[in-house]
C-alpha cells in the first residue's frame, strides 16, 4: 500500500496539502492524516478522492508517536510522501510566557517533526519525498517571537542536512519556508500574546494558504532544497544571507510596530 503522511492535517496548511495530494497524485492509496481534533479529521474524507485514514494524536506526547510507529510496523506501507505541517507559534515577551506553552512549541515544532521523520524513513524508498514545514522565521532571530523562530531555525537546519544524508537513497527533502499566512489559525493563535501587549500589530503582505500549499508542493515535486512560496519569502531569504542579525532585528523592531 502506497501512502502519504500529513501531520497538522485537520486545518490550515496541512489540510490544504491533502487537497494538493488529491490534485497531483494518482498512485497514492491512502492519506494518513495526523492531528489532535478527531472530528475535523473525520470530515476530511468528505472532500478527498483518496481515502483518508484518521490518526487523532497529540504529537507533543511521546506515546502518540509510538502509536503511529506501531501502525506503520503493523501495515508496513510504502510511504511515498511525508509532510510535517504540525506546528504553532506564540508572540510576546519571553519572560512573561507560560512555560507550558513554550515547551509545547519546542515539542511540536522540533521534536515531533524529527520523530515523525524518523518513524517514516524505514518505509520510504527511491522517489519518496519529505516536506518539512519551516518558516521564514528560521532565517534570523526574532525578538518577541524568539522561541518560535528558534524552533523553525532548528527544523530548517535539520532539513537541509537530512537532504544531503538521503541523496544516496534518492529521497527528496524540501524545507518549506512561508511568510505569514492570513487564512489559517496561526496568526490568531500567535496574537494571543504574553506580556507587552500586541508585540506585532499588523501582518502586511500576508499570503494565502492555497497559494503557499500549491507553490511549495510544486517545489517539492521539482526536488528543490528550499521552497520560499512567495515574493516576501524570497526577499527575506536573500537579505538574511547578507545583513547581520543585529541589523535584521532592528528592522524587525520597526516593522512590528508599524
Q: Which residues contact 44 (CB under 8 A, 6 or more apart)?
A: 9, 10, 15, 18, 31, 33, 52, 54
Regarding pTM above 0.85, the answer is yes
Chain segment 70-97, per-residue pLDDT in tens = 999 999 999 999 999 999 988 888 988 8
Chain segment 157-216, per-residue pLDDT in tens = 999 999 999 999 999 999 999 998 887 666 666 555 544 445 565 566 778 999 999 999
- Could you give the percent of the chain with pLDDT greater than 90? 76
Chain segment 200-252, per-residue pLDDT in tens = 655 667 789 999 999 999 999 999 999 999 999 999 999 999 999 889 889 87
Q: Which residues contact 90 (CB under 8 A, 6 or more apart)?
A: 97, 101, 102, 105, 147, 148, 189, 190, 192, 193, 194
Distances (CA, A) of 5 to 81, 88, 98, 157: 6, 19, 31, 22
Residue 50's pLDDT band (boundaries 50, 70, 90)?
Answer: very high
87/109 Cα distance (integer angstroms):
5
192/190 Cα distance (integer angstroms):
5
- Which domain range does residue 14 map to? 2-255
Residue 112's pLDDT band (boundaries 50, 70, 90)?
Answer: very high
Structural domains in the chain (count) = 1
**What's the pLDDT score for residue 67?**
98
CB 230 within 8 A of CB 207: yes
Mean pLDDT of 142-156: 95
Encode burial over 82-106: b for 16+ CB neighbours within 10 A, e otherwise.
bbbbbbbbbbbeeeebeeeebebbb
Distances (CA, A) of 199 to 37, 90, 147, 247, 258: 29, 10, 14, 19, 11
35/186 Cα distance (integer angstroms):
15
**What's the pLDDT score for residue 196?**
44
**pLDDT value at 257 more than 90:** no
158/98 Cα distance (integer angstroms):
27
CB 56 within 8 A of CB 37: yes
68/76 Cα distance (integer angstroms):
12
Q: How many other CB atoms are there within 10 angstroms of residue 123's CB atom?
A: 18
- The pLDDT mean for the chain works out to 91
CATH number of the domain residue 70 falls in: 3.40.50.720
Amino acid at each position: 500500500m502506497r501512502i502519504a503522511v500529513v501531520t497538522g492535517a485537520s486545518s490550515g496548511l496541512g489540510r490544504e496539502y491533502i487537497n494538493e495530494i488529491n490534485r497531483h497524485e494518482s498512485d497514492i492509496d491512502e492519506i494518513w492524516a495526523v492531528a489532535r481534533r478527531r472530528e475535523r479529521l473525520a470530515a476530511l474524507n468528505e472532500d478527498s478522492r483518496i481515502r483518508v485514514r484518521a490518526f487523532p494524536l497529540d504529537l507533543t506526547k511521546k506515546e502518540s508517536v509510538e502509536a503511529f510507529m506501531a501502525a506503520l510496523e503493523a501495515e508496513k506501507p510504502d510511504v511515498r510522501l511525508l509532510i510535517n505541517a504540525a506546528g504553532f507559534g506564540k508572540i510576546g515577551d519571553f519572560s512573561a510566557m507560560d512555560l507550558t506553552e513554550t515547551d509545547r512549541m519546542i515539542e511540536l515544532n522540533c521534536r515531533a517533526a524529527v520523530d515523525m521523520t524518523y518513524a517514516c524513513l524505514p518505509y520510504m524508498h527511491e522517489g519518496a519525498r519529505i516536506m518539512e514545514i519551516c518558516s521564514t522565521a528560521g532565517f534570523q532571530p526574532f525578538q518577541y517571537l524568539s522561541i518560535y523562530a528558534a524552533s523553525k531555525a532548528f527544523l530548517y537546519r535539520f532539513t537541509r542536512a537530512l537532504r544531503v544524508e538521503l541523496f544516496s537513497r534518492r529521497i527528496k527533502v524540501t524545507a518549506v519556508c512561508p511568510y505569514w499566512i492570513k487564512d489559517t489559525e496561526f496568526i490568531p493563535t500567535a496574537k494571543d500574546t504574553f506580556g507587552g501587549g500586541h508585540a506585532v500589530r499588523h501582518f502586511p503582505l500576508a499570503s494565502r494558504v492555497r497559494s503557499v500549499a500549491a507553490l511549495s508542493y510544486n517545489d517539492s515535486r521539482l526536488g528543490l532544497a528550499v521552497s520560499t512560496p512567495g515574493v516576501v519569502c524570497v526577499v527575506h531569504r536573500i537579505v538574511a544571507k547578507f545583513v547581520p542579525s543585529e541589523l535584521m532585528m532592528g528592522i524587525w523592531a520597526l516593522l512590528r510596530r508599524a
